[in-house]
Structure 1
Amino acid sequence: MTEEPRLSAQDLIERLAPALSRRTRIGAVATLLAGVAGAVFMVTLWWSEPGPLPDRTQVAFAVLTVFCVAWAGYGGWLLTRRVVLFATDQVIAAWIGLAASLATTAVVTMTAVQRGTGVGLPLAVGGLFVAVALALAVRAHARQAALLRRLRELTDREEQ
């Protein structure tokens, strides 16, 4: 009688979920397409503006284009993964969302200050977006830590 080779915890996980779920793939495609479409839209709008634009407008277009490209890159990266991610994708998405929320709040608040329209509303709305993004980042890190802790537990048991 031959003894079957013993699989490690990592091997078992990879056999159970060798690729991204359908839901994750659909989300990744949507993120990739939205990022590319947003970047194309922002660059087209930026280039089609007549005359020299004010510096703050140039900065706003650049920041928004960078975030669109970041989302497109994230979607593309996610589609190329064929391994279990242990919530790394959620952590990356949360950080992109937090950075975008902070930068957008800063740009909108600067614009409000320069126009003299008051900063209450931009800070309130931006603060809400930043708070939600921060909560999602904390949740993503906690989920990732729990999954990695569980993997270590399974690996430690296997080695004993």
Structure 2
Amino acid sequence: MNEEEPRLSARELVERLEPSLSPWRRVRAVTALLAGVAGAVFVGALWWSEPGPLPGRTQVAFALFAVFCLAWAGYGGWLLTRRVPLFATDRVVAGWIALGASVVTAAGLAVVSVQRGAGLGAALAVGGGFVAVALVLVVRAHARRAELLRRKRELTGGERS
């Protein structure tokens, strides 16, 4: 190392592993927040404006869509409030939200297909594809988080946080 180059402390190196909120992550957080709020408002307005009493499973579907939207809005808000390095925790949370939504949607598609006598294979293929993609994202997020935390321990001499 050149004598003129400044040496970084372990803490500075750790902070450079993953900034608290890069501009790209801030855009993702704002997008998740706005899309979640807009989706929840849209689903809520559609649900509220339906004439007459809706069947029970339709009520459940509207409620689940609203919950998914609110989960993404909550994720975006949570991410915007973080002022410390997250070490890919944001990716893990987003992956689990996506996996939960994908599993519930796939199950719903399968139930509707069976009730209507439509092709269950197509519903399982579409739903399974969404679940598979979400599962890959969850596994990758956990691997990235483990990698960053391992590197942090190496840089800080094994101290935990």
- Normalising by structure 1, we get a TM-score of 0.88
Q: Hey, what's the Cα distance between the residues in 1 that align with 2:128 and 2:13? A: 43
In structure 2, runs of 5+ residues without a counterpart are 1-6
**Identity rate of aligned residues, in percent?**
69
Aligned to 1:3: none
- Give secondary structure in 1 for the equivalent of 2:87: coil
Query: Number of paired residues?
Result: 153
Q: Hey, what's the Cα distance between the residues in 1 that align with 2:97 and 2:87? A: 18
Aligned to 2:43: 42
Q: Does 1:22 align with 2:20?
A: no
Q: Does 1:129 align with 2:130?
A: yes
With 130-139 and 113-122 compared, the bigger mean Cα shift is at 113-122
Aligned to 1:66: 67
Q: What does the per-residue CA deviation read over 1:52-71, in whole Å, with 9 as the maximum and x for residues that have no partner?
A: 11111111111111000000
Report the CA distance shift for 1:81/1:157 in structure 2 as closer, same or farther (over 3 A): closer
Question: Which one-letter code corresponds to 1:97 in the other structure?
Answer: A
Aligned to 1:87: 88
RMSD: 2.0
- Normalising by structure 2, we get a TM-score of 0.88
Residues 56 and 111 in structure 1, CA contact (< 8 A), matched pair in contact too: no
Q: State how 1:107-146 maps to structure 2 within 5 Å.
A: 107-146=108-147
Aligned to 2:100: 99
Q: What does the per-residue CA deviation read over 1:38-93, in whole Å, with 9 as the maximum and x for residues that have no partner?
A: 00001111111111111111111111110000000000000001111000000000
Residues 18 and 82 in structure 1, CA contact (< 8 A), matched pair in contact too: no
In structure 1, runs of 5+ residues without a counterpart are 1-5
Q: Hey, what's the Cα distance between the residues in 2 that align with 1:157 and 1:83? A: 19
Deviation at 1:10, TM superposition (A): 3.2
Runs of 4+ in 1 over 6 A off after TM superposition: none
Q: Hey, what's the Cα distance between the residues in 1 that align with 2:51 and 2:131? A: 33
